[in-house]
Amino acid sequence: MTTRAIVVRGDLPSEHAVQFFDTHDTRAKAIADFLIEGYRTGDALLLAISRPHWQIVAGLLRDAGIPVDAASGDVTVLDAREALDELMCDGQLDRERFDAVIGATVRRLAASGRRCRIYGEIVDLLAAEGDFRSVQMLEDLWNESCDQLGFRLFCGYTAANLGDPRSVDALRSICRSHSLVLANSRDLLGSFLATAATGSAPPAD
């Protein structure tokens, strides 16, 4: 069975992938695979992730021999909810706060001379609230930063947060904001959303 397949490759110059997940397990496996690949090529690793998801991913990374404690300096972890709260000003996503919180962290990691590899799901928290305007703004800010700093970025969304037919325009916009749309055939809703939004063939089993 396909574990992770490219649904469509976009035209963005940045390396910015997205995947829609049905379960914690498929999400954790995709994140861990992404980070393990980066660790083995010497990338600096950064996550903006919820605590429950991080607990699962951390276990997979430890199993792969990757140190995840803060003292090692190999993996930097931001709590997604706390980061989102720092990005908001008067209920609105703030560009300057994004630069101060996310941009500054990426620049600090890049100063070591290593390329950064980043997983983020702050956008998923906004999608869960139905705040698709802020979702799009945040994706645009990520793309601007990615173009400037040249990191690899992987965004994860809970498929159910985008399953309402009324969210189809937001879903299509999200897909257009990424250079890769990925799917796992085990994620039935996630695969359906990815293929429907991009007009591509579904990933094969």
pLDDT tens digit sequence for 103-156 = 999 999 999 899 999 999 999 999 999 999 999 999 999 999 999 888 999 999
pLDDT at 205: 58
Average pLDDT on 25-35 reads 96
Position 167 pLDDT exceeds 90: yes
Question: Rounded CA gap, 75 and 136, in Å?
Answer: 27
40 Cβ neighbours under 8 A, 6+ residues apart: none
Q: For residue 75, give the nearest of 31, 122, 135, 129 by alpha carbon.
A: 31
Is residue 1 very low, low, confident or very high in pLDDT (cuts 50, 70, 90)? Answer: very low
CA atoms of 9 and 112, how far apart (whole Å): 30
Please state, as a whole number, how many other Cβ atoms lie within 10 Å of the Cβ of residue 86: 17
Structure confidence at residue 200 as a pLDDT band (50, 70, 90): confident
pLDDT at position 179 over 70: yes
The reported pLDDT for the residue numbered 2 is 46
**Mean pLDDT computed over every residue of the chain:** 92
Indicate the fold that domain 5-198 takes in CATH: Rossmann fold (3.40.50)
> What pLDDT shows up at residue 6?
85
Per-residue model confidence (pLDDT) at position 10 = 77
Question: Above pLDDT 70, what percent of the chain?
Answer: 95
Token pair belonging to 175: 């897909």
pTM: 0.93
Q: Indicate the domain borders of the chain.
A: 5-198
- Among 9-23, 85-99, 141-155, name the one with the lowest average pLDDT: 9-23
